[in-house]
Structure 1
């Protein structure tokens, strides 16, 4: 793909993201208008003042509710999408996603422990426990994989991840059965949510997301070389196992961070990279940045659906992404039925 066409594709993706963000802050019962929102944004520039026409209540809703929720959705979607693209690249498997190595089960177990012992949704303890649980699960996966296969095969690591995830899910189920009064809280977190108490969650996850996205994009060219196989990549001076370890650790760190505040939002890591790959091809130098932008737009729009389709009640965002992602997953599975895992 030529540079001009690449820039055009990325530009279109950015326009879609901006439209999704504007939709997210406008949709709802607060009565916000395009003029009011744009004028209020312009007023943030030094030395500029435009009459936005927003009331004090509307201004507070825009900056303390809608904006942080929209930004958090964009950050979570972008991180999950590029992490999925990284996993699919290093494992050369289009069905890989950010939860492949036990992040989901580990984070879920950590959150369940906090809820069962008395933690509450939105407390500092729950995100911290989910974050730690995800990292511990991946560390256990790598330790198990290296002990069995010496870390030489991505297939061994994938199977180790399946084993760790099954073990984590078993413990989580046991704890939930012991304290069935916490089932609603546990399931509410597991189905995902982007409700925030302001900008604190955004500030918490942005550093991890930025590092994750930046490092993975830097390795775009390397992922293209690794696509031809480890032996060929090694002959070109690349150390596949080292690259694989770096990217898996970085993708896991970003995933664990965003999952710790958003809950388990599935299918983004599968749907977005593969959809982008179908549109622009497999080259990671363009696939990765476009996946970031499209992933952000996708989750922002999914959150709009989640909070409006059953208003005034709110549908868990994980239900929306699953409703879209599950059929797409079947399409991917059908196209990949000849591939080996």
Structure 2
């Protein structure tokens, strides 16, 4: 987008940027940055989308600071499935187990159908890792084509290639997005289906996917704040289970015995490896770790649970949540 001459604002609600690579990329770009700020309000102002941002207050930032910016397009990106911003903007929320559960309804370009909002990566539901960068490029080309910066033919060519890669990488993902675009997916909130052995997020995966993930477990970081890898979490599960071996492949007739095995809770895992104790307080790692462990061990996410969230040192005034002063 920057190469096309688009003015870009980069927002990040992390209080500090812990990654040197991320920091260097930001400094080399021409993006305007809002670090340590949350979007507390977003509305269509007629001449664009007006965003109200407020800083995260704590020991280092005790005074409230607000910024307002009007943009033509808003792109939401995240490493875990989140529907907060899409729901705040009024995008339809649908239930798609192949994408992780409740996700915003969107197209292959990430367009939410609102005219000014896109989702990229897991912000639109679980997305195969190999497709994240490609989908981000498609979203950028879609915005550029809409603004008349490139021809529609360029977008169509890249979009056709992205769809082909989607079919090859994960046909379930492709079919879900195709249903979204054709209007065949109804919106609404639904309870978790009565799945006996396999969690709903595992529908799009296979045993081979799990085995491939385990081969590089020590290189897959779940908590970037505390440098906790998937390998660390799996080792913690092993220790807490007193070295009881948990198998991935369950043979016919062994289902009931495996179903009776109880995994350690996320609270206990957190206490062993420090997961979710960094600056983000688990916003980016607790949910994804729960889903990944559920996927690997073929358990329901609620069996693992989520650690107890403690009260913040500086509580949020009720007036702020109500929209007042």
What TM-score bracket applies, with the shorter chain setting the length? Answer: under 0.3
Question: Comparing both structures, which one devotes a greater share of its residues to helix?
Answer: 1
Q: TM-score, normalised by structure 1?
A: 0.23
Which protein has greater RCO, CA pairs closer than 8 Å, 6+ apart?
Answer: 1
